[in-house]
Structure 1
Amino acid sequence: MNRTPWMFPGMLLGLIAGLGVGANAGAAEPVVDFARDIAPIFQARCLSCHGDAKQRGGLRLDRAADLLRGGDSGAAVEPKSAAKSLLMQRVRSQDADDRMPPSGDRLTPEQIAKLAAWIDSGATIPADLAAAPSEANEHWAYRPLTRPTVPTIGGKIPTGSAAIDAFVAAKLQPLGLGIQPETDRLTLIRRLTFDLHGLPPTPEAIAAFQADISPNAVEKLVDSLLASPRYAERQARHWLDVVRYAESHGFEMNNVRPNAWVYRDWVIQAFARDLPYDQFVIQQLAGDQLNADAATGFLVAGPWDQVKSPDAVLTAQQRADELHDIVSTTGSTFLGLTVGCARCHNHKFDPIPQQDYYAIKAVFAGVQHGERPVPMPGQETQLADAERTPALPPGAPVGKLRRTPVQAGRNVDRLLPVRAKWLRFNVLATNSVEPCIDELEIFSPGNDATNHARTAKVTASGSYLGNPIHRLEHINDGQYGNSHSWISNTPGKGWVAFEFPEPVTIDRVLWSRDRTEPPQFRDRLAMEYRIEISSDGKEWQEVASSRDRAVSSTQPMGYVGRMTSPEETRMLRRGEVTQPLDPVGPGTLTRIGTGSTVATIAAAARDAERRMQFARWVVDPKHPLTARVMVNRIWQTHFGVGIVDTPSDFGRNGGKPTHPELLDWLASEFIADGWSMKAMHRKIVLSATYRQRGNDLVAGRAVDASARLLWKYPPRRLEAEAIRDTILAVTGKLDLRMGGPGFDLFEPNGNYVKVYTPRKSFPEETFRRMVYWSKPRMQLDDTFGAFDCPDAGQIAPKRNQSTTPLQALNLLNSPFAVQQSEAFAARLQAEAPSEEARIRRAFVLAFGREPSPVEQSAAAGLTKEFGLSALCRALLNANEFLFIR
């Protein structure tokens, strides 16, 4: 039904004016009244293009929030400043292409004067219009997360996994359906092991599970699967799809990123130790502040155009595209929102103003693609105690024994006792942007030594301007921490010099970036430095340096981004870098997640502070989206499709939840369980819903052919990586080494532009799990790329499942399939003494069961005519081998 925009919600506009209800209710009537003077102008001349049916330029004038928010070109109205308001500029314009209205008569001078007077007086709007229901509360995903009541079963309210079944059963009951009985033990252990590990269970594990008659046999199996590192590798593969991870840059050169694997390993380790999801999020956005530098590989996991241009506009466009990738992926990954759609205009479907897009862009404006040193806890190296080991003098050879690496907290450089009038600490390189030192102390020999820095006159190469907590006088004020520190004014370098009142004998220098416990800040750390002394302040002698400190073994380079001072962020008209508008400070979404307790991000906040505040906003338990999105992703890993079938889009254009109450209950449980991902997996797989049979039912197929309502367990094919891993496991060739640089499935070459030529033979170093493949962007593996493997050109929140002839041909005839069939046959010959026994062993390894008499006979005939490897190829191509049931 068509309706006049200003009649809803404002059929009461006339009454509002008459009753005095408005922003200034109770006060004297303003000279210009919105309902009387302004609304009729909008109604007659504006709303045909800027109303509820059409919003040209992203501008809507029939609702208060949109009116003040503006469109593609910025705010339409600047209260109390008609001169700055885009609306006034357009209605006053003499340019036929720019003026508004674009056709018909111009507004009269009296109408223009009323608009100007209304804006200059504060642009007050009737309270009834201003208080119209929020868009954010009209859509299910934006409503506050509340814990729903679990449906009763037999008069009782179930808890834990049984609560899942209660929600599912309540949805099935009106359809005359229910949850089916539990499936058989063999099917269940294969389902669980494939789901949680991406590998088949061993024959020994199957036998043990089938023989276990204890009432908690399934719980014990699940707990053992969750405790295995294979679980972490499986879940990491799912996550890497979501965040568009690859180990090459993309674009026309598509050169490799040799150190991108650092982030992949961090993801695996995070799942292995069940890092709480809120910390999992925070570390990926601001891990450089939490000694989790590898985690920020998330930010730069996407494509990067390494071919730069001398043209300033093209360079600006490249940078805008880099940040757009970060903003878009952050929004889709953690919030399930298509934030990137607000780059050029207000979001057409969801309450995401264009200004919010640029506020989030400002959060990440200090992130640059590139590498930096990454602490790798747990790696062993030969380290000397820096507290007691003197630094090497200049020219001395550096042996295998190195001093401990620099850290954000207390660092000691012990010197051979030396006399000096001056000491200079010269920073040559940092882990990010300008170096920061919170305190530098200079001691004489002895336990009761004097700190000579306290009485020294201090000079520096330059100091960070405009911030009172980063001043030169703080470097020797006796106070530790970031809030009493000195920052250089030059990225990556700077020096600070101490002049003592009289020459002194010194034997050690203590310095730190942030000597709080534990350090809160780890950026701006001096990684390379020299300590020099002088008798006259002109001639300098090196007495210590970073060159004998460990770096490579405990701090390898990782493609995890370079953190710099944030560049200025401006709104861009229609997203065009050539049309900058007003500056925008860092912020969050203003109309979604507004219940968060996180404070506004200060406009002057440093890069790390911006990202940390934003991350805390994302994981605030009051945020309506974060927990919902992640439990839906976990649900998808077990049933093939989420409760919401668009896992990275919970907006209005996304799918609707099949079980909204169940989704909210799971999200509430997730938070209550301390954001434990393992606990959520356990809860789901122990439910009767998950453990039920996958039998087809005519009644179920008639009303829910895809089994979205879960009247059966929905079978699905293994994805590409799991198929390859399973083949290697069954043939006995799987290499379970974890971590480190991956393997390559393309022929090596040294071309300027990387050429990806698929391998035709596969050495043993390629037999690791597929998660360790050095996956390039936009290039698929020759064999398994046909199985809907994403190319990392963009995010892949869920895999397609196609069925094509090429898939069957690849599994039957590819060099890899032929090689592994022969390896399978060789394993059978080594493990079984006769042809009959080898056939039985083949079925047990491939399917977890003995062959039937018919299968045994057919297999024997095939083997006799074509050889044992032919049988192996047939088994590796069977649906029973490739499907989770």
Structure 2
Amino acid sequence: MRWLFLLSLLCLTSCREKDPWAGDPSVPQTISFNQHIRPLLTRECLQCHGAERADGGLRLDRPSGVASVTSDNSPKKSRLWEKIVENHPVALPNSEQAILWRWIKQGTPTEGHWAALPLTDPSTSLIPPSLKPGEPVTDSELAFLARSLFGREATAAEMAYCKQHQPARGDLIDSMMRHRDFGQNFGTRLLLLSGASPVSPKGPFAPYLRWLETQISNPSFSLNDFFTDSLAGDLISEAGQQGTIATAWVRLPHRAGLDSLAARVAHGLLAIDLTRPDSPNDLWANASETLPLFLPDFPPAARGEIANPPFLPVHTPIQREALKEALTKEPDAWAATETAPETATANFAAWFAEETPAVEIPDLAVAFAFDEAEPGDHSPAPVARLRAPFALAEGVQGMGLAAPAVFEGLPLASAQAFLLSFFLKLSHLPEHPTALFSAQTEQGAPVGFRLDISTRGLEIALLKGSATNCLAVDALTLPQPGHWHHLAIGYDGSRQAKGLQLWIDAKPIPLTIVHDELYGIARAKGGEMRFQFPAMEELAPTVIDELQVYRDVLSEIEIAHLRDGRALLEAVRDEFPREDLLFNYYLRSKSQAARSNRQRAVSASNEVATLQDTALLVPVAEATPSPEVRPTLPFYPLPLTADPDRLGFAQWLFDDRNPITPRVMAARLYQMIHGVNLLPEKDISDPWQVPADPALLDYLARDVLVKDWNLRGILRTILLHPPQASSVINAVEEAI
């Protein structure tokens, strides 16, 4: 029996298939299905034995098809070896024969989709940097860093500094990422990376771009926090204002071919193309159905345009402190204007007994007649002008203007006190609110002053861009159709709706506040506005006459004096109305100190308005409801405690268990810096498209998590790991 056992062992040893490539260092000892076999089958087999064409009924793009033509641990008994190596029309290269031999000998082990596999342990996949952090940089490398981090050429001063001081590479990279040009450059590049269209520095999203630049300037800026807040900041209770601003990202217009928010996220953060047909072998087979449930789109973003989105003003800490101080001073400045001068010696009876009352009419800032006649003696030359077409009509007060007519240069702004005085004759009152007067910018956005009238009321508004950014009041008392009326509309520069006033025939009209919120200064570029009368033909043949604009802080008595101060005084002699108001007006008009107080109050309001105008007006996205059905996600489920909305999806997207997002983000940034795509050319859904350098990709992806998604730390690693340091520098030198 002992001899029989030894004889059997000798036979088995002699019959064992010997490895023809034993001792060849060019052939890996352990074969990876994803790294070695998938590329081999894709290159040599799938063209004839794939989904589109399956010669002989054999499909090698499925694990079952591969298993059907392989035998356990025996290449010579395997049909796959026979078909590919011995009987294939084109001989397989020797290196690929060796890989296939060893894979079959190892039992044909397979792996799941490469992108869904856990990231390798950094301790076992450490890739030393090709460029040493402690070495000085050359001129050509400095030029490369300036293009990569600043998006521009290195300046002569920067080149001279590096040549003189020769800073270490790592220190130079760190200092360059603290430069303001880094924030400006990467603010734009991050938006392009995430599938947004280029944002113009002068476009509607320019404030959001400036806000993003300030965020990137923070050394702790992390990509996962940025994209989480971008997707769902308005759904995070503790995020507050900053989260709401960050969510404006979902409203950014999409790049060409990405017509929805779901498509942007799939392309930019998951490298998945939602337009390709689904396949059972895909990384995420039903992504085109599931993603829109978590990420419902916003219609304005789908059209690539903005239609008056809500805005949120954002100040820097320094601006916020300055605004707080200005708001504290402003009420005291206005309170001082209501105090009569202590140096006044006259009393009301003495003043009233004077033969010539000392009443001064405020100087006119703008005054002209619509027939272009010369202004009155007390008026300076007009600063506004009338534009054709216009028509003149006979009126009680002389020549009145009939619609349509447009005026330019009227100084109506929320930063200053003003009073608009005019005579008006309406043919009728429209049923629906109709703009009688309106000021607007060249782009058509309503800015400045607006007067709407209808049978239900008269609304006065100062606004800047939208109905949610305005001061508006409503009056129930209306002019009578067919009669001339003197309308005076005042505003005290306080940037509050209660600062708007209305008089009809010198009688104060009670007003109801409709909206009291105005961000910044409501004025057109260069201080000019177009003032159109009327805005709609429905009010023709309405006529107005003698439009006058006063730039000062006016009292009710001052407004009553606009037409005929002497007649008012005669009425006062008979009825003595509002003696205290009239006397205080007299004292203020005679006192230089009182006028100075009034000017200081206006300046205080202007300072507050100017500081408010420095705020970044960030477009804010509306919250969207959660889907009724709880959709499932691949790789690992959404926690039951998370809502199936944008916030829940963002948490799933950047969970440490999700290996897709760090791999894609590392590859996107690597391509941005070095121009080398570490991902397959197509989207990553197809398992047969594998990365060319999976070891480097996994190392960078793991580094993303180790650095806690810190942008500066990630870029530092990428800059120190070029594909080939010499080739990068040579390419830069050739470009220079």
State the TM bucket, normalised to the shorter chain.
0.3 to 0.5
Structure-2-length-normalised TM-score: 0.41
Structure-1-length-normalised TM-score: 0.35
Structure with more contact order per residue of length (Cα contacts < 8 Å, sep ≥ 6)? 2
